[in-house]
């Protein structure tokens, strides 16, 4: 007999005499003549109820079943007289793989997120984390679906690079030099290193994506990204996934149109395909989730300039921890005020002062600001960061010189501005931050399977 997953069984049209499910026991209750068990196999939030009659030949063993025990059950799928479920299984045979001991950490009670982080290898077995990681999986699929429908090509950008796209110097070094040897010599000789020069884990696939957008038209990268930022916040991890669309013949406005369409599409996909799992979050995790999702789906995102945003913040009655003024980088408290309190929906900020943005952003006519765009969302702050790219060779060379970037190192990037350069734009969306937005989970460590943060690389 073939194993059926519980999500399929629970949606069955009619009963049948031979079903086989395999999973883990969530709870068991013993009555006089039989035992009730709730089985979960991870395929969905719901459990299936199993009834084991005392006339089963291994009933003595069945009585030893504990929470967490792994089992294989065959029997009949019958209409359930109980409330809340359509079907249950009358067991004909129960095989036990392994009885979970008394000290199984996930006994039926509420655990804190902090505790569950210390058992990140077991937490996907809980309702909340099972739901979170099913949604994560579904959203990966939705991203590829969206871009397939729009005719974009998927670019797998390299993870080991020789350049620092963001210029923030927050990179993890990649080397195979022997640390003892380095210590003896008192310095690193990069010419002796694996690549013959300095190498890092990528902070962004953008520069690769630009080369491919200028060849294939519209492309996107979606993969792991690494940042050695020493910031222990609820929105930063050292390894995260970034989605980066890059579009040829695209200006800043079209870039924002694209970002808005993307966020709406993914959110709508989640509400359709992850209905049960999302319901858990609006019920138990964040009561304001429903209205927030509605605002994303049904309202046009706001669009203002950085300068306008700074004016709004300066007039705000709210006391901020960090001072704001023209030229300062906005802090998360400012970003959240704008999205949460002022606009009450996602808001695009454009045209940031050039001093606080990377070299590749297109210079505006005022020569003070660049065609940058950030999307700020309630509860999180920055979800998307991007720009129109500087496509004019002379302007780009000037900017690089001002920022003391070596044109030699970026010869290939500059080539793209020499040969058939065109206006183009793109952005990066932090995948984990998007998951926080649609689940209401408030710590980024809880939407990524095994979070990597300063001082922590367990599992």
Rule CB under 5 A: which residues touch Mg ion? 385
Residue 213 found at the interface with ligand 4AD (CB under 6 A): no
Nearest Cα to 450, choosing from 119, 17, 82? 119
Q: Which residue has the tokens 């709004």?
A: 312
* Closer by beta carbon to ligand 4AD, 24 or else 337: 337
Residue 214 found at the interface with ligand 4AD (CB under 6 A): no
Name residues contacting ligand 4AD, limited to 403-442 (CB under 6 A). Answer: 426-428, 430, 432-433
Q: Which residue has the tokens 């390894």?
A: 239
Name residues contacting ligand 4AD, limited to 361-400 (CB under 6 A). Answer: 382-386
Burial profile 37-47: b = 16 or more Cβ within 10 angstroms, e = fewer = bbbbbebbbbb
User: What minimum distance in Å lies between the beta carbon of 246 and ligand 4AD?
Assistant: 7
* Closer by beta carbon to ligand 4AD, 378 or else 428: 428
* Closer by beta carbon to ligand 4AD, 128 or else 433: 433
Instruction: Estimate to the nearest angstrom the gap between the alpha carbon of 319 and the chain centroid.
Output: 31
Nearest Cα to 370, choosing from 346, 389, 391? 389
Residue 244 found at the interface with ligand 4AD (CB under 6 A): yes
Q: Is 370 exposed, middle or buried (0-12, 13-18, 19+ CB in 10 A)?
A: buried
Instruction: Give the contact letters, 124-163, x = binds to ligand 4AD (CB under 6 A), - = no.
Output: ----------------------------------------
Q: Which does 200 bind (CB under 5 to 8 A by kind): Mg ion, ligand 4AD, none?
A: none
DSSP class of residue 315? Answer: H
Residue 204 found at the interface with ligand 4AD (CB under 6 A): yes
Q: Which residue has the tokens 């901020």?
A: 320
* Closer by beta carbon to ligand 4AD, 95 or else 329: 329
Q: Hey, what are 402's tokens?
A: 């001002």
Give the count of residues interacting with ligand 4AD (CB under 6 A).
Answer: 22
User: What minimum distance in Å lies between the beta carbon of 320 and ligand 4AD?
Assistant: 20
Q: Residues with Cβ < 8 Å from 216, sequence gap 6 or more?
A: 153, 155
- Strands annotated E in 279-346: 302-305
User: Phi then psi for 125, rounded to 5 degrees?
Assistant: -85, -5
Which spans of this chain sit near ligand 4AD (rule: CB under 6 A)?
165-166, 204, 206, 227, 229, 236-237, 240, 242, 244, 382-386, 426-428, 430, 432-433
């Amino acid at each position: 007999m073939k194993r059926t997953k519980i999500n399929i069984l629970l949606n069955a049209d009619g009963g049948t005499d031979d079903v086989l499910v395999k999973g883990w026991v969530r709870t068991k209750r013993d009555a006089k003549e039989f035992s009730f068990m709730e089985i979960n196999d991870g395929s969905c939030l719901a459990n299936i109820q199993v009834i084991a009659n005392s006339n089963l030949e291994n009933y003595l063993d069945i009585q030893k079943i504990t929470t967490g025990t792994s089992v294989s059950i065959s029997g009949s799928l019958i209409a359930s007289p109980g409330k809340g479920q359509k079907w249950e299984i009358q067991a004909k045979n129960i095989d036990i793989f392994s009885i979970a001991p008394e000290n199984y950490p996930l006994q039926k009670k509420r655990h804190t997120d902090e505790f569950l982080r210390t058992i990140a290898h077991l937490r996907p077995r809980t309702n909340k984390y099972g739901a979170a990681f099913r949604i994560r999986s579904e959203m990966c699929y939705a991203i590829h679906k969206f871009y397939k429908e729009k005719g974009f090509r998927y670019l797998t950008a390299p993870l080991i690079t020789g350049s620092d796209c963001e210029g923030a110097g927050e990179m993890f070094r990649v080397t195979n030099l022997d640390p003892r040897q380095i210590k003896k010599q008192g310095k690193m000789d990069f010419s002796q290193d694996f690549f013959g020069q300095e190498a890092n884990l990528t902070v962004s696939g953008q520069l690769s994506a630009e080369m491919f957008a200028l060849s294939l038209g519209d492309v996107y990268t979606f993969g792991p990204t690494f940042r050695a930022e020493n910031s222990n916040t609820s929105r930063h991890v050292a390894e995260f996934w970034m989605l980066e669309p890059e579009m040829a013949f695209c200006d800043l406005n079209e870039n924002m149109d694209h970002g808005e369409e993307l966020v709406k599409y993914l959110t709508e996909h989640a509400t359709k395909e992850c209905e049960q799992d999302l319901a858990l979050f609006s019920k138990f995790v964040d009561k304001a989730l429903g209205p927030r999702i509605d605002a994303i789906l049904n309202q046009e995102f706001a669009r203002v300039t950085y300068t306008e945003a700074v004016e709004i913040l300066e007039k705000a009655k709210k006391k901020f921890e960090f001072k704001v003024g023209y030229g300062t980088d906005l802090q998360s408290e400012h970003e959240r005020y704008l999205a949460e309190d002022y606009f009450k929906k996602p808001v695009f900020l454009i045209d940031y002062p050039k001093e606080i943005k990377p070299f590749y952003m297109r210079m505006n006519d005022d020569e003070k600001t660049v065609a940058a765009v950030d999307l700020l969302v309630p509860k999180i702050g920055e979800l998307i960061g991007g720009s129109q790219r500087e496509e004019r060779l002379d302007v780009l060379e000037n900017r690089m010189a001002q920022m003391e970037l070596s044109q030699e190192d970026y010869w290939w990037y500059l080539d793209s501005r020499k040969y058939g350069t065109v206006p183009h734009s793109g952005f990066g969306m932090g995948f984990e931050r998007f998951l926080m937005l649609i689940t209401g989970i408030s710590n980024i460590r809880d939407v990524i399977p095994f979070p990597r943060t300063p001082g922590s690389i367990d599992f």
